[in-house]
Structure 1
């Protein structure tokens, strides 16, 4: 393993001591402000720094966004993302890069080389869900600040359960994901369970430092406020939202991470997926087995 430099060690240590919640709340406050020309200038600087492709956005001008939050969750032009139409194909849920993907070894998922985390930790101890997804498949997609921040459905699905799990707000960038053990199972997250033609599927929206909020299409903003305990919502009958393949299911106000879980022997992940594979909404994530 490559020895870390002094500054890399400082960067990791800072994650443990910095006021994560305060910084995130401050970022959330700033992102809501509508300061006219000041906001537009700041958005322009951000877009230039992170090389945001504004030509695919529905509104291409920086002045079209009254706040950073509007800019972060900007919709794309109708034709910007093509959803794979094959009935046996599941689609990628987000623009970004594959952080890890592959087989769930009993109850363990690979976070990064040398680091694993368990289904029990990730799913907040929900034993029924843990048992349902042992030996299944998973894919973790990292959304950087430059990426489109809306999250879409890989396939048709009916929501059966949503769980909010409070937690840390570590940054989820690739370097820290590699060096902070159990990071994805320690961070705040929203777990969404769907019934699909491919078996049960879980799509998890993971929070991070300065990710001001996580929202879903059916419940709106989940956080803030940030509860101190695990909260769960069950959906059934007319109360159960059904979403179509490619439909928006959630959004981040600044990028973070999406984790997809599939049951054993239900899907085969696409052959081209590997660490650092660039992802786009609508491209193939997996095929039905």
Structure 2
């Protein structure tokens, strides 16, 4: 699982400013190049070949819940240089299966909440690679290349999607080695939630920047948060390659329930995955460093609960 790795996509570490290349299995890189290239997209109009290859991995997560999977934990930690001091329990032997390790929790001190007393300060939803765009149109032009990507397609509801027509987008991409619990970027009250069935295609940049509609094809859960500072905020957790389940916390599925900024609102069960957060037009000003890197189509390595941006009154840009 952690052997024969090669350099992958170039990202920038937000804390250090250093460029980093992701590690990725050689077989996975080959599979992605095969699945998401213009020639195959033209030949395989029905996506049957992609579907067939995808199904080979679709239920792979089941083996990670078996006791014998525990032997993968230490090699995985070593390969990805995971700092176990950030997690509880910190002892790899305390996890009974790889699945238990995959959904590990942070220690309270490892990811401090940015501006805990300031409701106008939004925070990152996950440990991940992040891009942000001030409008859906801009995200479509630079990063999300699916032929039919829109908020309406993302939640399969044209009426419910209206608040985010050409609103701002934050796209959080998680790798298998990441902490796979996700948190609310703002405080608010749950208005509605829904679960949408679908595929589990990879959310690797090669897939996202292809013409295949990855984000609107994959299984996902969504909820809308009514925030006094940010207006209606859409949170969509999207499954990906080998993810067993996309889970929302009970509160996120309870209309009228209050959600605190930084509160855990769900988790992914094994594999790479993605979160998309949409804001109404003019309601958020993303941090400038995130904006500048995103305009260059460079993902930023960020930590959950770190700064994402600030609330802005409708019609204002600062």
* CA shift in 2, pair 1:110/1:119, >3 Å: farther
- SS at 1:129's partner residue? coil
CA contact (8 A) 2:144 2:208 kept: no
**Superposed counterparts of 1:169-248, under 5 Å:** 169-197=200-228, 198-218=230-250, 235-236=254-255, 240-248=256-264
* CA shift in 2, pair 1:100/1:154, >3 Å: closer
Between 1:9-18 and 1:46-55, the stretch displaced more is 9-18
Corresponding position of 2:195: 164
Corresponding position of 1:224: none
CA distance in structure 2 between the partners assigned to 1:258 and 1:113 by the alignment: 13
Q: 1:95 aligns with which of 110, 113, 127?
A: 127
Q: Which runs of 5+ in 1 are unaligned?
A: 221-232
Corresponding position of 1:251: 267
Corresponding position of 2:19: none
Q: CA deviation at 1:15?
A: 7.0
Q: 1:28 aligns with which of 39, 61, 64?
A: 61
CA contact (8 A) 1:206 1:257 kept: yes
Corresponding position of 1:10: 34
Measured against aligned partners, the alpha-carbon deviations of 1:152-183 in whole angstroms (never above 9, x if no partner) come to 11111211211111112111112222224221
* CA shift in 2, pair 1:154/1:113, >3 Å: closer
TM-score, normalised via structure 2 length = 0.75
Q: Which runs of 5+ in 2 are unaligned?
A: 1-28, 41-47, 313-318
Corresponding position of 1:264: 281
CA distance in structure 2 between the partners assigned to 1:172 and 1:250 by the alignment: 18
CA contact (8 A) 2:146 2:208 kept: no
CA distance in structure 2 between the partners assigned to 1:44 and 1:34 by the alignment: 14
- 2:306 pairs with 1:283: yes
- 2:87 pairs with 1:54: no
Corresponding position of 2:151: 119
CA contact (8 A) 1:82 1:283 kept: yes
- SS at 1:98's partner residue? strand
Corresponding position of 1:65: 95
CA distance in structure 1 between the partners assigned to 2:196 and 2:167 by the alignment: 22
Q: CA deviation at 1:140?
A: 0.3
CA distance in structure 2 between the partners assigned to 1:262 and 1:111 by the alignment: 18
Number of aligned pairs?
Answer: 263
* CA shift in 2, pair 1:135/1:179, >3 Å: closer
- SS at 1:190's partner residue? strand
